[in-house]
Amino acid sequence: MFTRILVGYDGSEGSRAALAAALRLATQAHGVLTTVTVQHHLPRYGATIGEVDEEREFEAAEARRLANEVQAAAGEHGIDAQTTIRAGHPAHEIVHAAKSIDADLVVLGHSGHSGLWGTFLGSTTERVSRHAPCSVLIVR
């Protein structure tokens, strides 16, 4: 049974489905749930220092909003979820988070905000499934 569950959460429909599945699993197994939200931190275009600071503030506020969503959903299931916010590449940070908490299972949505693969498996999900140190559940 999976008792240390990690969810990659970006607020997309896919990550919401993953969170719902992980909450059900954690409830059944009396497991510990951790979510990871990854910030990119820098704009993807040439920007002034003020624009970079503005983008950082926006991403920090968005990450806090997502963490509050997770806490509310976990509270409905009677689970005390640990929420973490990391900066970097999403797949890399999710794999590192899974290693750092010695996760039994990583739960991810089929696709998130990335449009790289369209309706196919998301690039972050695909990379995590290849490199995670544990089992990966991909939720549609």
Please report, rounded to a whole number, the percentage of residues in the chain having pLDDT higher than 90: 66
Secondary structure percentages of the chain, helix, strand, coil, to 5: 45, 20, 35
pLDDT of residue 48: 67
Give the end-to-end CA distance of the chain in Å, rounded to a whole number.
21
Residue-wise pLDDT for 73-106, tens only, equals: 999 999 989 999 998 899 999 999 999 999 999 9
Q: Where are the domains of the chain?
A: 4-139
Q: What is the mean pLDDT of residues 101-121?
A: 71
- Return d(Cα 89, Cα 99) in angstroms, integer: 16
Name the 3-class secondary structure at 136. Answer: strand
Residue-wise pLDDT for 11-46, tens only, equals: 999 999 999 999 999 999 999 999 999 986 555 555
- Return d(Cα 84, Cα 28) in angstroms, integer: 23
pLDDT of residue 46: 59
Band of the pLDDT at 56, cuts 50, 70, 90?
A: confident
pLDDT of residue 131: 96
Show Cβ contacts of residue 128 under 8 Å, excluding neighbours closer than 6 positions.
8, 91, 94, 95, 106, 108, 136
- The CATH superfamily label for domain 4-139 reads HUPs (3.40.50.620)
pLDDT of residue 104: 96
| CB burial readout 69-107, b (16+ within 10 A) else e | bbbebbeeeebebebbbbeeebbebbbbbbeebebbbbb
